[in-house]
Structure 1
Amino acid sequence: MTPARSALLLAGLMASAGLAHFAAPSQFDSIVPRSLPGSPRAWTRASGAAELVLAAGLAIPATRRASAHATALFFAGVFPANVKMAYDWRHRSTPERAVAYARLPLQVPLIVWARHAGKQHVRRGPAGADR
């Protein structure tokens, strides 16, 4: 898949996640680490807004590369919320625990995806010459 197409798919994922932060904020409030200052709802709104901004940046070719790098950093930055969720859900049903635990290693392919989305696509001609 080309980096441009990958970036647009990632933009869709980020926009969907960002909107979900506003449509159903309580599920996100519950995974905000308690060590962060302020209210969990403020962090939920801020992360939702960040996801929407990153989605827009990924969709625009001129800002795609910087937005892709910022998206990779965002995925690393929200990892503590996934750790909190896994810890908080350790006594839930097996399917719920599986969801919470699956989010932990999922951050790695998301970061790789964001890095791929930020690459410049070089088209090659029949003789391998750059176009």
Structure 2
Amino acid sequence: MKKKIVLMSTVLLIAVATALAINGNLFSSQEDVPVFLLTVYQTGGSTTQSGVEVEMYNSSGTRVKTGTTGTNGTCDLSGNWSTDTYTIKAWYPARPLDGQYGQTNQYYSGSSVYPNITLGANY
């Protein structure tokens, strides 16, 4: 009886270890994606702005990501991006309402970046 329990436990352990290894969960680690975190400031540049519409474009002019700033004025634009110069545009309030606009260009080469935009005159 004792041998049967040990044998069943061993078979179960081997089955679980094999399943984890096949699924890539046992010996692999997920690579961290570098941070690409935008902060948007109100006109004047000292207070962050929530609810800002954000769009990110690659150097070919293709829109690659959109988002909205949260209560802390940030918008996470992180992703598996290529080395490139990205244009980030921000509108507040969100279009089509007349409001403030800002834009920045950010060179990205695989390291974390923390660009910011200060909203300017009405658009």
TM value normalised by structure 2: 0.23
* Higher relative strand content: 2
Query: Which structure has the highest helix share of the two?
Result: 1
Q: Which has the higher contact order (CA 8 A, sep 6+)?
A: 1
